[in-house]
């Protein structure tokens, strides 16, 4: 089954404690991205990757890092989380060659206290 898998689904952490949210896709998609969803703001892009070792900032990259060492994985790293990073996070992937739309992960609800 084609899917994007995020882990964990829920996470509560404390300010300053480094964390990683994993994202994996099994569709051999070139393009992967991270979004955060906040009330009244919709989803906003954090980072994206066009292919292995190619990443770039989206609209709200401050406080986040990503890496793309393998095509299937695109982890989101919060080196020193702060309460303003409490949000719902989505990973998405898409083929750049096929005329298909993005597949979304199930979402990760992150709370930073």
Partner 1 sequence: AQTVTQSQPEMSVQEAETVTLSCTYDTSESDYYLFWYKQPPSRQMILVIRQEAYKQQNATENRFSVNFQKAAKSFSLKISDSQLGDAAMYFCAYRSPANAGGTSYGKLTFGQGTILTVHP
The residue within the footprint of partner 1, chosen from 11, 27, 77, 102 (CB under 8 A), is 102
Cβ 27 to partner 1, closest distance in Å? 14
Lookup: tokens for 110: 């992150």
The residue within the footprint of partner 1, chosen from 1, 40, 62, 113 (CB under 8 A), is 40
CA 31/CA 79 separation, integer angstroms: 24
Cβ 106 to partner 1, closest distance in Å? 6
Q: Does 61 interact with partner 1 (rule: CB under 8 A)?
A: no
Residues 6+ apart with CB under 8 A from 68: 32, 49, 51, 52, 53, 54, 55, 74
DSSP state of 18: -
The residue within the footprint of partner 1, chosen from 1, 42, 62, 113 (CB under 8 A), is 42
Cβ(29)–Cβ(72) under 8 Å? no
Q: For partner 1, which is the closer residue by CB, 77 or 88? A: 88
Contact residues toward partner 1 (CB under 8 A) are 31, 33, 35, 40-45, 48, 50, 56-58, 88, 90, 92, 94, 96, 99, 101-102, 104, 106-107, 109
């Amino acid at each position: 089954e084609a899917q994007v898998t995020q882990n964990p689904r829920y996470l509560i952490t404390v300010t300053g404690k480094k964390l990683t949210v994993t994202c994996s896709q099994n569709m051999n998609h070139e393009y992967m991205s991270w979004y955060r969803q906040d009330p009244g703001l919709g989803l906003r892009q954090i980072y994206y990757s066009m292919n292995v070792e190619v990443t770039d900032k989206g609209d709200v990259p401050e406080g986040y890092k990503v890496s793309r060492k393998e095509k299937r994985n695109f982890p989101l790293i919060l080196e020193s989380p702060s309460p303003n990073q409490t949000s719902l996070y989505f990973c998405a992937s898409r083929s750049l060659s096929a005329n298909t739309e993005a597949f979304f992960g199930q979402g990760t609800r992150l709370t930073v206290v």
